[in-house]
Amino acid sequence: MRTKHTGRAVRSELTQNGWCSDMVQSHTSWTWRLEPDSVAAQDPGSFSNQSDAESWLGEAWRQLAESGVTGVVLVNDGKDVYGPMPLSE
């Protein structure tokens, strides 16, 4: 006899066991692509979530602009999420 599982019940069980959050965090990479790409600016590295990436940009955008960065693109696992976003006041 097969047991019917709803998507919500399965997601709830996975989340309670910590599987979903572990899989998402270990497989997701958020980065900033700096434009133009030839500037010598601080390498932002990668972030485990969008919120951390955006917080970093909020703190670093002035320094990036002073280094010659004119815009940024938020990238998640190699796919553009949004941008280019200009760095100006």
Q: Tell me: the pLDDT tens digits for 9-55?
A: 444 444 454 444 444 445 689 999 999 876 777 788 999 999 999 99
Residue with tokens 């703190």: 59
Regarding predicted confidence, which is higher, 65 or 14? 65
CB 14 within 8 A of CB 22: no
Is 75 contained in some domain? Answer: yes
Flag whether 58 is in a domain: yes
Domain that holds residue 58: 28-86
- Nearest C-alpha neighbor of 80 from the set 31, 23, 24: 31
pLDDT of residue 26: 52
- CA 22/CA 17 separation, integer angstroms: 10
Q: 2 or 88, which is more confident? A: 88
pLDDT of residue 40: 75
Give domain status of residue 7, yes or no.
no
Whole-angstrom distance, CA of residue 1 vs CA of residue 87? 60
Among 6-10, 33-37, 74-78, the range scoring the smallest mean pLDDT is: 6-10
In a domain, 37, yes or no: yes
